[in-house]
Structure 1
Amino acid sequence: MGEVFAGRYELIDPIGRGGAGAVWRAWDHRRRRYVAAKVLLQSDAHTLLRFVREQALRIEHPHVLAPASWAADDDKVLFTMDVVSGGSLAHLVGDYGALPPRFVCLLLDQLLSGLSTVHAEGVVHRDIKPANILLEATGTGRPHLRLSDFGISMRKGEPRLTETNYVVGTPGYFAPEQMMGAEPDFPADLFAVGLVALYLLQGKKPDAQALIEHFAAHGTPGAPQGMPEPLWQVLAGLLQPDPHARFRTATGARKALAAAVEMLPEPGPDDEPVEVFDQIGPLPAGFGPDGPVSAPRTAAPSAPGDASAATAGLVSQQ
């Protein structure tokens, strides 16, 4: 059996790792269910403040993966979330390369739906990228996306954890205004959504800097080869370097995407279905669908009527 944290969470096996800590599959003894537990690697004041901010986020939406509970034990802290076993968008592109436009539109619709709720709470995510967008293991069925990792998110108007001229986020998915040290705002998240969409459609990380320079020098470029023009118009609205020329809300971008989908060609009969595989794998020995599996108990041999010997045999094996 695994280590029991704070008398409640039994850590089973590692299923991921981020910049601030490791993610474990764990059994919640109180709620009697499996959860994903993010355990911080360090406990300095700066990291703890980020932990407080992330675990305090309570957003319930089918396409958002926000913390559900937290616990502290000695010098470690953790918070828990649902287990999402289909890996990230990075895993999916690693398996398939460029994805079909209609499939990408379905993922983008779910991402924008979740992001609209995040923004309605006044929260700017600030680190939208393929590795932070997880998928349920749905096989060849309808995909189900979950936006995760709110470790550097912040509410508009909150004091920053870093100096104004220090850029926070993942290089390659920054909006231009982030690079200039602007206050975090919702359109910066939408720029990152546009870059994620390009990544999914082209099967490789986009060159954000080259794209920004082209927009600035020549205006909106034509659709990349093989990309339907209606879909490109939506992406171009997300990728405008000037945040005032960009979509201002996730809801507005989602409405434009829905209109574009109506103009996309239907998938052909020979199109390969996209399958979202289980990336975590089966439970290790000692754990079943309903939690830890108790080892069979056998009483030590004892003389008839010797209750104390039988009891001692049971206690010694618990």
Structure 2
Amino acid sequence: MYFKKLKTGPPESTEEPDSQLDEDIVKEQRRILSPQGAGDLVTVLKLRKEYNTHPILRWRNKTLVAVNNLSFGVPRGQLFGLLGSNGAGKTTTFKMLTGDLLPTSGHVIANGVDLSSHYRKSGKSLVGYCPQSNALLEAMTGYQILRLYAILHGISDQDIDRHVNTLMNLVGISKYAQKKCGTYSGGNKRKLCVAISLVGCPKVVYLDEPTAGIDPAARRVLWDLLLNYVDMGNVILLTSHSMEECEALCHRLIIISRGVAKCIGSVQHLKSRFGNEICIFIKVKDTSKRL
């Protein structure tokens, strides 16, 4: 029996060279490193996350790159969108931004604090997070959950009730305040998760597909709430599959595919650069005879 000699050594680098990156991505990297990027409330610099495909295959140096060399900055008072299909790396990016995952390399800086190394000390008080899945205690009422988070954020006892009632009114679930979360519809659960992310009025809020399952009328109300929140000088980062949502909300957005940033800029800028094609949908009547 013969065995092939295995190759040893480090895995080949899958990082995109600057020559293959879009020109706007390169400009954004240079802006972050220049004095112009010093005023950004959130800075993501060459963020990268690798996974071993299987524990047994580690000796073959096989890795899966979920996020590859992602860089962008978000100034104060801006709503920034991450647009991409399923598996593009949006949720993995958010998990690194919130500290749920440690990046393989790169830095996440929020309000001057490097969350990659100091998240446990001071990062949690700076950010609010609405995950993709509804992280709710279904045996508790909506009011009880928001009150619990308000206590954890250190809001004073005399302000808790006013703070909780204001949030429930803003997202439109005040009439369900005393009902258990397990009885909420999918849309109301998402509204409650958004309200949780806004407890304590954090300067930076991460929203992972916040409007999934919400009806169009309620979605518009939530959009107005988010726009008013950033007008107060805060920063919101959201992920979405919908270009319509990004067009209505985002001051700037970045499009991600397979963990790599493909383009970045305002919606109008991206339309001017890449919107030269016209899609025409034609519906014709089926005149074929049925057997």
TM range (shorter): under 0.3
Q: What TM-score do the two structures reach when normalised by structure 2?
A: 0.25
Judging by fraction of residues, say which structure has more helix.
Answer: 2
Q: Which has the higher contact order (CA 8 A, sep 6+)?
A: 2
Q: What TM-score do the two structures reach when normalised by structure 1?
A: 0.23
Q: For the pair shown, which has the larger CA radius of gyration, 1 or 2?
A: 1
